[in-house]
Structure 1
Amino acid sequence: MAALVCPDGFQAPPAGVLAVVGARMGELLATRSLLDSVAQSEQAERLQRALYTIADLAGSDLEMSEMLRDLHRIVSELMYAENFYIALYDDHDDSLRFLYFVDLVDQEAPDQDEVIPLSRIERGLSWHLVRGRKPLMGTLQELTTQVDGHLHLHGADSLDWLGVPMIREGEVRGIVVVQSYDQAGRYTQAEMSLLAFVADHILTALERRHGRERLERRVMERTAELALANQDMRREVTERERGERLQAALYRIAELASNEETSAGFYGEVHASVGDLISAKNFYIALLSDDGATVSFPYVVDEHERDWGSRSFGRGLTEYVLRTNQPQLVDAARAEQLMASGEIEGSFVGAPTLVWLGVPLPGPEGPMGVVVVQSYQAGDDYDQRDAELLTFVSRQIASTLLRRRSNQLLHDAYADLERRVEVRTAELREQIAVREEIEARLQHQVMHDSLTNLPNRAYLRDRLERAIAKLRRAGNRRFGLLYVDIDRFKLINDSLGHGVGDAVLKEASQRLASCVREPDLVARLAGDEFCILLEEVQLPETASKVAQRIIKAFDSPLSAGGRNLKVSASIGITVVEKAEGGADAVLHEADQALYRAKERGRNRFELFDPVMQSNAMTVLNLEQGLREALAGEQFVPHFQPLVRLDDGGIVGYEALLRWDHPERGLLAPGEFLQVAEESGLIEPIDWQMFALAMKCSKDLAVDGRFVTLNVSPRLFQRPGFDTRMLALTKEAGFDPASLRLEVTEGMLLGDPDAMVAVLLRLRESKIEAALDDFGTGYSSLGHVHRFPLKMIKIDRSFITPLAGDDSRRSCAVVEAILALGHALGVDIVAEGVETQEQRDKLAAMGCVYAQGYLFGRPQPAHAWARQ
């Protein structure tokens, strides 16, 4: 749109004129717009061509400097750019490198490869362009207002300056700068945008060029690496092929150790194997004799030399290798040196020899020989590598030679051994025959009794095990075992001597053997014990008949030591029907039956009954329980009072043994006392009982009352019994005057004098004695006065009849005992008083003391302490 202004004082033109002017101005404005459009199109076309050219430069083969000059030329076509530079920024070391720098005024241009730290140009325009990350344009004064902080001038001062950063992914990668020294205001905002746009493409072109250069450099480096790797691979393939040939050669040489080929064939194979590794047209093996004086040549292949006979150890090259025990690679020059030093003598092997290579064959005590190759033709020379290879092979050759030598020695030794074995075998056959005869005698001696010549226990056990095995295989083949014992044989030995006893055993063995038939067996176990194994026993009666024959066989007297002796036998029988146990179990069953026969009077036989085993196990379990009760202190004392008949007052207590069984409850002595006596446990039980009874009854033994303890015969007869009893009272804090020990008549009459002495010692210590169960033993009323007794207890067998109609005999005995007690000054106690009638009769007869259920049953001490 255009406007026509008319100044004041002038008259406005006519409307027609205004219309023409308006039309003309419209044409001028349209023309101007077209010209601007054309200029813009030309500018866009130049920019497009510039960008295409920049892109082409990135992929061209131009040198970097030439490419940068072309970039400068392209930018100059778009704007004023006579002063122009491009710099790349490295954020790792915070520096700039000026790839291109052209300035008409500033002559101190940085080198293209120079790295300039930003700290050197701190606060300069380029520094602010990198740090600010935004374009800068204008004069120095204008630029001062565009940057953060101070601005320092580095280089020449320009009139107009335009710089843009090259940014990729938010990071500054470089800068592009143009500047003018002769005209201010050359650069506009449009040119700033244009330069920023071109700078992005310049960065792309530089990155592409750098990427291409890096790729080309990496390709060149990788190509070089591949070339080296290819060379290494070729060497490795060569070495591997050589190693495979070496391995194959070593295998072939090792296999020759067990080969049956002749020596010539063996050496020929060795030569062929070496020839696969190195040139071996001329090859020989030399061996040193055992004494080291001679060198022989068992194998030679040579194109020129013909004389290879054995020779004395001299100064040749072969001997030089043997002396040094080292591989030797010798050419003409080396040979002259060795001859000059006296190491070898004569000419260099043969006239045509060019190179000689020899390595030692290692032996157990030094070199045993030499393997040699030599060359007569140029091109077949050997080097140190061949020497190492041949040295390696020589070890296998030497090892194979030693093995072949050992095999030959072993073969010769075997042949010699076979000859010696044949001779020795004949000698051994004679010795074996003698030894078998001796072993048979020894076996008979080991398995038989020397006195009776009967099989012994070991022989019997073996036969029993075989019989049990047969029973396992065939369950209907029962067998029997008779355990025979000569009755009272110990008496014969003790009275008539062992000579007569041996004669009795010999005669008894013969009579036992006459009672059986084959295949039954009679064996002597030990002493006067014999066993008879009956192989076939279908019924127990069969074994019983044999036992009857044995008893009958001993009916007639035996003649021994000039005497006719009447001997009997006791027999235990077991018939085995099940193979559940071993030989020991069978012997044990027969032994139990024998024990039963001896218990029932001897000169008889008994069959084993499982009840015997059950009873034996019961006794065994009871014995084990007694031992555990001792350890666990399960025995406890119960106390029964002794009272005066006139008023019922308690004068004392009898301590009675009880077993507080953890499972069966409280047990009286009748259930375990016999087992305790037979096993010898009664003594520790008594002492434990005594200590506990004294401890529990200290509060009962007061006001003149006493406590009685029952003492077993075995314990009372022990030496030092009285001393230990007195020590126990002191340990328990019990008054000896309140203690009375109950003994039986049998104990007193066993050794009366000794018993009197013990009782007197006890009385001196204030411990009195009481005679228990009087009237049931072996004593008479006339013997009682010999013993220092404080009290006599009438056995309950005389008290029980007092409650019946016919009590005259019991009353007479009781009255006699009461009279004796009064005469001797001994207290008389009636045991087992259970009824009022018994009490009344005893009181009427003048009995003062009594004991029984009528007055109280045995109870723990604390129960009586409350009364």
Structure 2
Amino acid sequence: MQPDPRPEPSASPGVASFHAGLLAATTPRQVIAVLLQALGRRLDAAYWSPRWPEAVASEPAGAGNDSAVARAVREVSARRAGNAVRSDNRHVLLCDDPGGGAALLRLESPLPDTPSAQRLCRDAGARMAEVLSLERLQAAVAHLQKAERLQRALFAIADIAGSDLDKPTMLRGLHKIVAGLMYAENFYIVLYDEARDSLRFIYYVDSEDTEAPAVDRDFPMADFERRLTGYLIRDARPLMGTTEELRAQVSGPLRIAGADSIDWLGVPMQRNGRVHGGLVVQSYVEGVRYTNEDRALLAFVAEHILTALERKRGQRELERWVEERTEQLAETNVMLRDQIAEVERAEHLQASLYQIAALANSEEGSEAFYRQVHDVVGGLLYAENFYIALLDEDRQELVFPYYRAAGLQANPPRKPGRGLTEYVMRQRAPALVDAPTFQSLVSRGEIEPGLAIGPSLEGPKTICWLGAPLLESDKVLGAVAVQSYREDRTYDEGDAELLTFVAHQIASSLQRRRSAEALQQLNADLEQRVQDRTRELSEQIAVRKGVETQLKHQVMHDPLTGLPNRLYMRDRIERAIAGMKRHPERRFALLYLDVDRFKVINDSLGHLAGDGVLQEVSARLLHCVREPDVVARLSGDEFAVLLEEVPQPQTATRVAQRILETLQGGMQVEGRELNSSASIGIAISHPRHQSVDALLQDADTALYRAKAAGRNRFVLFDDSLQRAAMDVLGMEQELRRGLAAREFEPYFQPLIRLSDGARVGYEALVRWNHPVRGVLAPGDFMVVAEECGLIEAIDWQMYHSSCIEGKKLLRDDMFITINVSPRHFRNEDLDARMLAMTAETAFDPARLRIEVTEGTLLENPDAVARVLHRLREARIDAALDDFGTGYSSLGYVHRFPLKMLKIDRTFIEDLGPGDASRSCAVVGAILALAQSLGLEVVAEGIETEAQHQALRRMGCLHGQGYLFGRPQPAAHWLHEAAGQSARPRDEPRPQAGPDPAEPRT
């Protein structure tokens, strides 16, 4: 709605009353009522929302159905896009805040197009925007209050989980917390045991249910299979609603048990995809219903309640474990007190055993070893009479290597018989023998009196005898024994236990001494074996060196062609550079080549054919060089040839020519005859080549130039190529500086109405106002800008300047067009950036059009279509540039939202004198197509009056070309419109020939 240009009259009493009513209105309905009263109109329908088009409210209530709201949304979108029917004054867009509130009225009778009515609507719209903004703020405050309430509830749950409250008190506290978030007078918590497939209701409060399940009792899941609690656990998803609504949500037939609620809400308590229980609230009160927000809130709280229950259960288990552990420690303490008396004895025994173990490593003789063992045993018990008996290796004779008893220091060997020593060895257990035990053994035939201990064979003179077997694993080595001839010196079971420990240690020590002796012999044998093994290892080392040589060859060579690889070539180049530093007169050359159109062979015939081509090329390259030159495959279809001796550049060029001629011969690959060629870059060694990469870079630069020159040729790197590469780098730095200095500016070329020459718009074209080289056209810098990635930044700088400068040129319904390249459509935020730019520059989007080429539409049609539709909704139209030169021009005209077609200059050149029937037919067909689709048409490249008149006769309305004006700065066209001479710099013109086509940015 346009503001009334006439001066505002003084406020009348009616207007003052209207404004007072607006100020008193605090809701959208009140604002609408005040406006309708002031307009004297009746309302057909009203729609408003603080977040249009979400949550649209309506007046009256019957106007709020989905179709009516959809029509209101379309009406607002159409008015935003400027497509609303001006004659339909029944619709009033009261307020429209993009991204905020909007309000639309539909009156029963049209609104009078008077300044007073417009002022009333404008003032009411301002008040409506304030009211809607207030509603947004209130909604935000309510949302924050809910979030704060939920946060306090979660903190309370965490506090309860960490408290020392008993279980009933904790569960009542959880009930109170849930009741603070929603209606929860009736509430229960159920836990599910997956292992036993059972349910346990740990808390249950229900004001109506007389059949409530028992708390803290396990119920089989089968009892609840067709009930709501069973479905909540089995289906593992929330359930909410009345009984009929719940029947539609569960996965089977539903059986209602207990009181039937008005509304029921349950959520499962889950962890890692497993259901551990559920929370349920229900209402028996009419009008108290649960919402989706309650369901989401209860589901969120359920996870924290589950955590609280698990923490509480873990706390109880920990307390129970501590009690059990305390009892165990008490029992252990009693046992330790009982064992204190044994500790000192055990320590003494342990020290003795360590001494015996240490004796095993002594280098002294056996006699000294046995004597020291006797001394250690004597420190543990009475051992004045002590001996050791051992079986020989054949186990046929019992020998006594150490014997001290009854004044005797030796006892002759004997065959094993029925003595006390043999008895202990047979029993494999210690034996404590006194006089009665001795007589009992004799009577049972276990021992013979003639083999009794003591100096006399007539009978035992010993008062007490104690012996223990010497055991090593399952083998009996012999026995150790002590004996007493005195009444005051006897032995008991404790002494028997001590001697048993000592016997084990003596047996181990004896075995270690025997092992040490055997080890000496083994060492002698091992030395001989080491010598033999050394000879074997020498032979294996020779074999390994051969394998390493083979592996080195595999690492340094290409597995497909067998040629050296990049690693090998870099090593050879490094050695060549090192040799050049020592002998500057020795020059070498590097030929860098790749197979032309190799990707086509791979894509059409497959990789096997490509591998065959590479193998054949490798074989032919080897025939073109001689020793010590090197041919290597670097990667893919890239090869390198290192020529070690190159006294002059002609040597390298002859080799390159020979390679080209060799590769041109036909080759048979996969049953097909193929012709191949290559592009070669040559770099001759130079003192500036201090590294391998420097030489490779020069050769690669020459290769790039050879490919750009048409392939199947070689190029020798020289200073001009180096300067060209440096020029590109210099241009890139200047482009970056120019961007920072905002040296890129738009030049404007007019679009003319052919009937009277009036200007209908301008096309903005980029120019670089270089501080040294003057004004540069896109052809002078755009290629480098594309390669270094600065083109988008240049485009947006030019778009921004075009909006600022173009505003000064626009009159009436004129517009500005800008060229948008395909790379901008790769980001789906193009429309948002365009709108942000127009808002920043205060440029009317309806006066801006973007020009796209058919190549842009081809790259990603779906994405481009989406962006163009959004731009059209924002009132920015699109024009199809160079129409008629693409592959499927007609297919784009109806698929994409286009406003204008620009006929390519190639169809305009032939118009005029002479036979132009073909061009006339094409141009006429384009005009007819555009007219049928309601599209505007602009003919590009009009350079002669004959072309101008021919287009007028065919009905073309608009044109563009050097006949009407060359691209100039905005100041030129402003001075021309004011009747002044053009002071700003002119667009450079070509010296001769037709006007060139303007490059697109």
TM class by smaller structure:
0.3 to 0.5
Normalised by the size of structure 1, how large is the TM-score? 0.45
Using the size of structure 2 for normalisation, the TM-score is 0.40
